[in-house]
């Protein structure tokens, strides 16, 4: 209704609707541009045999592919995933449906178009129709290769440390750093320590340095630990 009380004419209503439509399209383009600049790939799968991809964001280029590679049927997701990982992914998806869960998360290895292998984490959410029947999965995929490399390097470092600790020729003890006025127990001991003192490993892990030191060294031990805490 105009300010003069007259109803808008059909041409005016059409122009207003077109303006609203243009604004909506601009918002969609802006959101698409933002999505394609972020590292997270968005995928929509249809829940039929083969799980065909109906939508995949353009930033799949980070793995060397284009949306057209999948929408045309040239590639399937199964071709990209390392075989033993694909079986685990499908089992997770099937199990999620069987439990009527709304989502699942899984990590697996993905082959890039150039032949490299990246670790990815997929978070998938079930999309249901009006009757509550799942028809699609919408997935968010992020590259976690760097995190996996860091975890592997840390694991290897810990294994090397444990090997050096365990097979050293000297008795080695790892003790909890106590708070002021408290005594720290042993967190780890090697076999040489157990043999030398005549205690089992489990027995030593329930003891403190004060339990194995001669009484005349107790004050020296306490002073040394307090100095370590202060520093």
Q: What is the pLDDT of residue 131?
A: 87
Reduce the DSSP state of residue 159 to 3 states and report it: helix
39-149 maps to CATH 3.40.50.300 = no
- pLDDT band, residue 216 (cuts 50/70/90): low
Radius of gyration (C-alpha) of the chain in whole angstroms:
31
pLDDT at 1 over 70: no
Nearest CA to 226 among 177, 186, 162, 190?
177
Q: What is the per-residue pLDDT across 148-189, written as a single tens digit (0 to 9) for each?
A: 999 989 898 888 888 888 888 888 888 877 665 566 788 888
User: Of 162, 225, 215, 209, which is closest to residue 190 (Cα–Cα)?
Assistant: 162
Banded pLDDT at 118 (limits 50, 70, 90)? very high
| Structure tokens belonging to residue 18 | 């077109």
More confident residue, 213 or 64: 64
DSSP 47: S
40-59 pLDDT, tens per residue?
Answer: 899 998 888 888 899 999 89
Residue 41, token pair as written in the block: 């790939």
In this prediction, residues 201-208 reach a mean pLDDT of 89
Residue 223: count of CB within 10 angstroms of its CB: 10
Cβ atoms of 124 and 142 within 8 Å: the answer is: no
- The mean pLDDT value of the chain amounts to 81
Q: CB–CB of 57/36 below 8 Å?
A: yes
Q: Is the pLDDT of residue 20 over 70?
A: no
What would the two tokens of residue 46 be?
């249809």
Q: What angle do CA 139, 142, 145 make, to 5 degrees?
A: 140
Q: Is the pLDDT of residue 106 over 90?
A: yes
Q: pLDDT grade, residue 62 (50/70/90)?
A: very high
Q: Give residue 97's pLDDT.
A: 74
Q: For residues 17-24, give the mean pLDDT.
A: 62
């Amino acid at each position: 209704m105009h300010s003069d009380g007259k109803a808008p004419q059909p041409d005016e209503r059409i122009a207003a609707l077109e303006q609203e439509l243009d604004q909506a399209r601009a918002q969609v383009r802006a959101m698409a541009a933002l999505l394609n600049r972020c590292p997270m790939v968005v995928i929509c799968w249809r829940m039929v045999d083969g799980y065909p991809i109906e939508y995949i964001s353009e930033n799949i280029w980070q793995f060397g592919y284009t949306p057209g590679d999948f929408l045309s049927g040239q590639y399937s997701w199964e071709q990209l995933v390392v075989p033993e990982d694909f079986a685990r992914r499908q089992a997770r998806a099937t199990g999620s449906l069987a439990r009527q869960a709304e989502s699942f998360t899984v990590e697996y290895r993905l082959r890039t178009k150039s032949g490299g292998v990246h670790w990815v984490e997929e978070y998938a959410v079930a999309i249901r129709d009006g009757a509550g029947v799942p028809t699609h999965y919408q997935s968010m995929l992020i590259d976690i290769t760097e995190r996996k490399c860091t975890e592997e390097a840390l694991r290897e470092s810990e294994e090397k440390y444990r090997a050096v600790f365990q097979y050293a020729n000297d008795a080695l003890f790892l003790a909890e750093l106590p708070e002021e006025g408290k005594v720290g127990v042993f967190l780890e001991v090697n076999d040489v320590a157990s043999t030398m003192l005549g205690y089992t490993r489990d027995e030593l892990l329930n003891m403190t340095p004060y339990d194995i030191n001669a009484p005349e060294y107790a004050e020296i031990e306490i002073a040394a630990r307090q100095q370590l805490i202060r520093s």
